[in-house]
Every structure is written in structure tokens, then in C-alpha cells.
Amino acid sequence: MIIAEEYLNRSRLFRRLKSGPHGQLFELYAARLVEVGLAGQGTWRCLNVVGDLLAWMASRRIRLTDLDERVVERYLQHRGGKQTIQPGDRAALKRWLLILRTTRTIASPALPADTPQAQIFAEFSDYLRSERGLAARTIVRHLPSIRRFLCEACPAGATDLGKISQEEVIHYIERHAQDWSPRSGKAMCWSLRAFLRYLHHTGLHPLALAGCVPSIRQWKFASLPTYLSAAQVQKVLVGCDRATATGRRDYAILMMLAKLGLRADEVATLTLDDVDWRAGEMLVRAKWVFRSTVTADSVRS
């Protein structure tokens, strides 16, 4: 496979571009392609697309100093009308823009104007970092919940922050608490509390609304079924291999759980001495000790 440096040494396209009015820029661009480690075909493609861009700009009397992302998009629309845009074409043009900005041939990209929400997020992030000592990864987790909350409760941005009411906070949580899992609901409430504390701490809201954010309980085994149907119980019992000692033991334990209604810890504490085989009675140790009469018919039923 031909590498970039080997291709450039014998490329007529590169010699032509290097001898043109932007020769020094193309030498820097070629050095960048070698540094990236492109193959010969990829290097040719990059030089070709940049050369074609400059020819297109010249035909429309666009100066090189006016080149930016918007001009690149216009060129790609023109190029796309004649041939398929390859995946590497945009990357090639981005590298060209970088060379031009490094040499100060063109201006740096204009910074996007901060929206009111973006300004709120920036100040809130600074508060979490400096006042609360949170890590950047933790701060980022807060922002999606706050963004959704502001879109609904404070659409006008910073001018409405002081108008957020307790009822709006509670209604928002009631609407969205069940959108995801209980764990996500708890995280949403955590983010809202942090944001509402920030508003009161900085004087952006006169009330301490964090206290009105309700808690979402997440029971540890809430997702487990409360009971098994008769068919499911029978399926579990049939799965015990009673031809083995282990299978008979498991079958006996399951029968006591299913037919006698004993708790797991009650079965676990049973010993052979607790069973009176002649009287058909069994001593069960629970919160209080009681004696249960067990017959073969009661187990079979």
C-alpha cells in the first residue's frame, strides 16, 4: 500500500497545487496528511477535493480570506450535484480550514451566541463546581433534567426564574415521575432540588422551593412478583428430581412454602427434632413459637 509521503513524492497533482498561488499552504496541508497517516488514495482524495474547492471559489470570485464553514457547505452542495460526496470529503475540508486558521489566513470561527438557557446552565455548573464541589461528570448528569424543567416551567428564560411557583414544581414532577424507572425519577428530583437551591442561594428566586420537591420511593424488591399462580407453583414442584436426595429435600421445602404458608426463615430453622412424626405435628420457630398440626391430607390439598 502506498503511503502519503511516497504518493506526494511522485504526485503530479501535488506538484501542480504546490506551484500555484497557495503553494506554501498546500505544503503545510500535505505535511498534515502525512502526520495523520493517510494512504496514497486518501491523500489524493484530500488534495483533489481542496483543489476543486479553490477552483469553485475562483469561478465565483470568492476570496480565500472569506472561506469558512458556510462557504464549505455551499461548495459541498455544488459538488453533490455532480458526484457523490465521500465520507472523507468533509474531514479533508476541515483539515484545510485548520491549516488556514493556524496560519491566520482566515478568521477563527465565530462563537455561537449564548442563549438565555445556556447562560443559566453555565452559571449553575459553576455553582455546583465551586460551592458544592461536584465533579464535571456529575454536573453533566444534572443538565438534561434542568433543561426539560426550564422548557416547561420557565420558557422565557432568566426573566421568569423568579416566577416559578411551588405548584409548578409539584405538577412537573407528577407529570414526569413515571416517564422512566424509579431510579431515574429519583435522579430527576435530586437535580431539581440542586437547581432550586441554587436559585434561592443566588437570589434569583425569593423562596426556598427545594423543600417542596417530593421524594420518590424505590423499594428494593418492588419489581418482584407478589405471588405465583397455582400452575407456576406446580411447574416448580415438577422440576424437582425426587429420585435424588437433593431433589426430595427441595421438594419438601417447596411444599412447606407453598402448602403450609411458612416463611423462608421458618423453614430454614427447622430441624428433624422439630417434627413429631407420630403425632403429625411440627414445631415452627418464628417471632413466637407455635406448634402446627400437619397431616398428609393437608399437605396434599
- Residue ranges of the alpha helices (H) in the chain? 4-9, 12-18, 23-36, 40-59, 69-80, 87-102, 116-130, 136-153, 166-176, 182-201, 230-238, 245-259, 264-268, 296-300
pLDDT at 301 over 50: no
Residue 14 counted as domain residue = yes
For residues 104 and 121, what is the distance between their CA atoms, to the nearest angstrom? 32
Length reported for the chain: 301
Same domain, 67 and 146: no
pLDDT at 113 over 50: yes
User: For all residues of the chain together, what is the average pLDDT?
Assistant: 82
pLDDT at 220 over 90: no
More confident residue, 3 or 163: 163
Residue that is last in its domain, among 159, 185, 212: 212
Same domain, 154 and 182: yes
The pLDDT, as a whole number, for residue 40 is: 82
Could you tell me the residue range of the domain that residue 132 belongs to? 116-212
Domain count, the chain: 3
Q: Which of 25-34, 127-136, 168-177 has the highest mean pLDDT?
A: 25-34
Same domain, 134 and 208: yes
The answer for residues whose C-beta is within 8 angstroms of residue 286's C-beta and 6 or more apart is: 263, 265, 266
Instruction: Kindly report, residue by residue over 227-272, the tens digit of the pLDDT.
Output: 677 888 888 889 899 999 999 999 988 988 887 778 888 888 888 8
Helix (H) or strand (E) holding 240: none
The pLDDT, as a whole number, for residue 296 is: 47
Residue that is last in its domain, among 102, 124, 152: 102
Instruction: Kindly report, residue by residue over 72-108, the tens digit of the pLDDT.
Output: 999 999 988 888 888 789 999 999 999 999 898 998 8
The pLDDT, as a whole number, for residue 48 is: 93
* In contact, 78 and 85? CB cutoff 8 Å: no
The pLDDT, as a whole number, for residue 60 is: 94
Tell me the percentage of the chain whose pLDDT exceeds 90.
27
* CATH number of domain containing 268: 1.10.443.10
Lowest-confidence region among 12-26, 207-221, 287-301: 287-301
Closest CA to 292 of 281, 301, 300: 281
Residue that is last in its domain, among 149, 179, 212: 212
pLDDT at 224 over 70: no
The pLDDT, as a whole number, for residue 107 is: 87
* Paired strand residues for 293: 281
pTM above threshold 0.75: no
